[in-house]
């Protein structure tokens, strides 16, 4: 039996380890491509820590190839490849990953997951009280992760490739648009209430432009062209949970657009500018400054500010007028309402798509416009009248 190699201190070296004449330690191994690689260190313990990491990576590669990784490990692998995504997308990824870590399903090896297993897990989430939109978000991450494994021949089929509504009911609340009467009730209350009136102009702009609330918060003074009466929308302002602000592109490439100012919007934007708090130092976020909306501390407002304004105002309204109930009112409800108002007024669909900043006409048609009996009756009457006159 050959004598084991030792270093200059008499310590036995493991397979692959050696010490050069200059006392530098080295470790040789074969990577996943079959090529010989070498790492170096002046300290044996440090070298062995590097060896452990290399071995872990090699084992992960072998386990993944054999489908022995767990659902959690698959998700971590998939998410690690998603670089440069939006902050909200990162939050969504982490939500799904943390959810999987709380579920027994997350610790199963992907090679053992069958379609029925995936369906049973989805049903469990539903029975545990998870809403349809939450389950949709979960599958929106898990399904492409398994698809990655399928495309790389790790598994024979994607177990999440099934129609979700065949397993759980779509019980999510449908997006609503405020009726003309509800719009009048709400905006009259906001304008006349002594405390809520300070939000009136913000609500007028949202209801009169259909902007996403993060786009509204992203507006700077230079985005307002009062001479030509148009608003430039080309960014969104976001604030992370830790308090960090940053500017990101609009939700879609079609999101960059100009929105006309109606007389009412023009006046409200002027009012917001006139009342805007004077600050000694303007907040600069990714090179942008002069944000239109500021909070009580002189910092730029974000979506959460306006969402809270609407929630607080609606709670007050309900207490004062319990006999005149209103649906849940949010910035996104304003966006739906604007779109429906424009469609009902006769704006052609391509123009409406542009103003809304939608990626396709289908989104404008199928998601944001809301037909009503009164509107249908009005349109039919006009058509019949036109035929008679012809």
Query: Which residues are annotated as catalytic?
Result: 212, 251, 332, 335, 358, 368
Tokens of 101: 């870590």
- What per-residue string of b and e applies to 3-38 under the rule 16 or more CB within 10 Å gives b? eeeeeeeeeebeeebebeeeeebebeeeeeeeeeee
For residue 142, which of 170, 101, 86 has the smallest C-alpha distance? 101
DSSP string, 172-231: PPPP----HHHHHHHHHHHHHSTTGGGGHHHHHHHHHH---HHHHHT-BGGGEETTTTEE
Taking a C-beta distance cutoff of 8 angstroms, is the pair 260, 352 a contact?
no
How far is it between the farthest Cα atoms of the chain? Answer: 110
Handedness of CA 196, 202, 206, 208 (dihedral sign): positive
Taking a C-beta distance cutoff of 8 angstroms, is the pair 106, 70 a contact?
yes
Tokens of 40: 């170096």
**Sheet (strand 230-233) strand order:** 224-225, 230-233, 257-260
End-to-end CA distance of the chain: 109
């Amino acid at each position: 039996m050959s004598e084991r190699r030792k270093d200059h201190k008499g310590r036995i070296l493991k397979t692959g380890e050696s010490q050069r004449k200059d006392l530098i330690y080295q470790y040789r191994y074969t990577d996943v491509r079959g090529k010989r690689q070498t790492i170096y260190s002046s300290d044996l313990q440090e070298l062995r820590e590097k060896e452990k990491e290399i071995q872990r990576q090699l084992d992960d590669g072998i386990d993944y190839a054999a489908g022995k990784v767990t659902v959690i490990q698959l998700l971590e692998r998939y998410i690690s490849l998603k670089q440069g995504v939006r902050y909200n997308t990162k939050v969504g990824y982490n939500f799904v990953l943390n959810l999987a870590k709380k579920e027994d399903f997350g610790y199963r090896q992907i090679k053992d997951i069958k379609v029925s297993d995936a369906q049973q897990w989805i049903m469990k989430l539903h029975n545990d009280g998870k809403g349809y939109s939450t389950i949709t978000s979960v599958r929106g991450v898990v399904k492409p992760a398994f698809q990655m494994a399928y495309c790389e021949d790790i598994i024979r089929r994607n177990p999440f490739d099934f129609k979700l509504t065949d397993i759980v009911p779509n019980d999510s609340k449908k997006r609503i648009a405020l009726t003309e009467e509800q719009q009048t009730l709400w905006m009259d209350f906001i304008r006349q209430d002594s405390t809520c009136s300070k939000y009136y102009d913000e609500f007028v702009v949202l209801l009169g432009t259909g902007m996403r609330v993060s786009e509204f918060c992203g507006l700077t003074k230079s985005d307002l062209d009062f001479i030509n009466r148009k608003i430039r929308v080309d960014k969104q302002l976001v604030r992370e949970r830790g308090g960090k602000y940053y500017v990101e592109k609009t939700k879609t490439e079609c999101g960059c657009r100009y929105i006309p100012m109606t007389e009412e919007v023009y006046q409200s934007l002027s009012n917001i500018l006139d009342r805007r708090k004077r600050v000694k130092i303007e907040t600069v976020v990714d090179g942008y400054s002069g944000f239109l909306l500021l909070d009580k501390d002189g910092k730029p407002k974000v979506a959460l500010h306006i969402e809270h304004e609407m929630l607080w105002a609606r709670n007050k309204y309900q207490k004062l007028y319990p006999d005149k109930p209103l649906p849940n009112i949010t910035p996104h409800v304003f966006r739906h309402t604007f779109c429906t108002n424009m469609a009902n007024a006769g704006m052609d669909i391509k123009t409406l798509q542009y103003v809304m900043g939608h990626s396709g006409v289908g989104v404008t048609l199928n998601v944001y416009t809301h037909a009503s009996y009164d509107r249908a009756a009005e349109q039919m009457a006009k058509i019949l009248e036109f035929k008679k006159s012809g």
